[in-house]
């Protein structure tokens, strides 16, 4: 009986600790107080919004879509990174756009994670990572307790369409500002992390 009670208590404490950590992380990624924490929608790609992800926290907005930190291209698909911001909650929010210049539709199938836990994300940025070359560490996309990544889930991106995206990662240690963004078969894109407000 004591063993069962101890195991149950440990599980309850672990679940409470995980929930508390996620609540703090989500609280840290709140908007700037203007109530407009929603991700902007691209007029050409309304189908690329996170369909069916109502439980996810609001995505960080892409404040300056004109500023491009890095760009990577694989075939007819181009990824632009507009910001990589270290937030006080201990994570890095990376935002940008993806453009399909091909003649057919694009589904982000090879961007999803190989992890079984993240299979519910389908065509998404769940397979993205930040790599700290100096520290020899790889940071994977954050996820909630249901296995949903804190990232954009794409629906079909038609020819000529552009969609905004975001992904949140654990923050590298203070002082580590240069990392490489990687997703799918895209060439690695070096980016610089800036401090959030």
- E strand or H helix that includes residue 80: strand 77-87
φ/ψ (deg, to 5) at 48: -90, 5
Tell me what pLDDT residue 65 has. Answer: 52
SS3 130: strand
pLDDT one-digit tens code per residue, 102-157: 888 888 777 877 776 666 666 788 888 999 998 899 999 998 888 888 888 887 88
**Beta strands 194-195 and 77-87, pairing class:** parallel
Cα separation, 121 vs 118, in Å, equals: 6
Domain boundaries, the chain: 1-30, 43-195
More confident residue, 122 or 34: 122
Look at residue 79 in the predicted model and tell me its pLDDT: 92
pTM of the model: 0.64
Q: Are the beta carbons of 95 and 165 closer than 8 angstroms? A: yes
Alpha helices in 29-146 (DSSP H): none
The vertex-83 CA angle with 88 and 21, nearest 5°, equals 30
Cβ-proximal residues to 156 (8 Å cutoff; 6+ apart), any chain = 47, 105, 106, 107
Residue 197's pLDDT is 67
Judged by DSSP in three states, 146 sits in coil
> Which CATH number does 43-195 carry?
2.60.40.10
Alpha-helix runs per DSSP H in 63-122:
none
């Amino acid at each position: 009986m004591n063993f069962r009670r101890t195991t149950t208590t440990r599980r309850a404490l672990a679940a409470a600790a995980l929930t508390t950590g996620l609540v703090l992380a989500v609280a840290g990624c709140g908007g700037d107080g203007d109530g407009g924490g929603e991700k902007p929608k691209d007029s050409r790609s309304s189908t690329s919004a996170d369909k069916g992800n109502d439980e996810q926290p609001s995505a960080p907005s892409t404040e300056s879509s004109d500023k491009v930190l890095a760009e990577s291209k694989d075939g007819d698909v181009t990824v632009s990174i507009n910001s990589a911001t270290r937030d006080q909650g201990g994570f890095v929010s990376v935002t940008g756009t993806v453009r399909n210049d091909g003649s057919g539709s694009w589904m982000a199938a090879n961007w999803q994670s190989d992890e079984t836990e993240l299979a519910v994300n389908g065509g998404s940025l769940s397979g993205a990572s930040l790599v700290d070359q100096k520290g020899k560490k790889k940071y994977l996309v954050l996820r909630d307790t249901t296995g949903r990544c804190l990232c954009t889930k794409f629906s079909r991106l038609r020819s000529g369409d552009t969609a905004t995206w975001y992904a949140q990662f654990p923050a590298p240690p203070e002082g580590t500002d240069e990392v490489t963004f990687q997703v799918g078969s895209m060439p690695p894109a070096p980016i610089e992390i800036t401090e959030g407000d």
